[in-house]
Structure 1
């Protein structure tokens, strides 16, 4: 898997790059965020949340 160190993406970009459905990516991102493995830069927005890896 390609390293995303410091890269900022939205869930749909990650889904497109990986070939995995966006709803699955969103669930995984939530779990990673809970374990402090990714950072959500703009948690106040509902659509288009930016994640830093």
Structure 2
């Protein structure tokens, strides 16, 4: 049980390191914690290029930190939201002061 907790904590830090090693992933996750959004809105609010936003969303989605809230077949108006795991890690990032 103790070992399992240590593995979870290590995995969390690995995930946090992955997030904060990219200003794009950090910005995207920070935006989605405030509520679901579409990539173009995230790009507008952050001033970051849409291509980087899309790439960050894809990599965060691969790690189950964000999720697509509409059908995968939908090409326009793709709405993304943060997962519980993403929220938990974002809270940790903020508590530790790692968001900038």
Q: CA RMSD in A?
A: 1.8
Q: Identify the structure with bigger relative contact order (alpha carbons < 8 Å, sequence gap 6+).
A: 1
Q: Detail structure 1 runs of 4+ shifted over 2 Å in the superposition.
A: 1-6
Task: Calculate the TM-score normalised by the size of structure 2.
Answer: 0.48
Task: Calculate the TM-score normalised by the size of structure 1.
Answer: 0.84
Q: What does residue 50 of structure 1 align with? A: 79
Rg larger in 1 or in 2?
A: 2
From 21, 42, 51, give the equivalent of 1:23. 51
Secondary structure of 1:33's counterpart equals: helix
Give CA deviations for 1:1-53 in whole Å, capped at 9, x if unaligned: 65642611000000001010111100110000000000101122012110002
Q: Which has the higher strand share?
A: 1
Q: Which has the higher helix share?
A: 2
Matches for 1:30-45 after TM superposition, within 5 Å:
30-42=58-70, 43-45=72-74
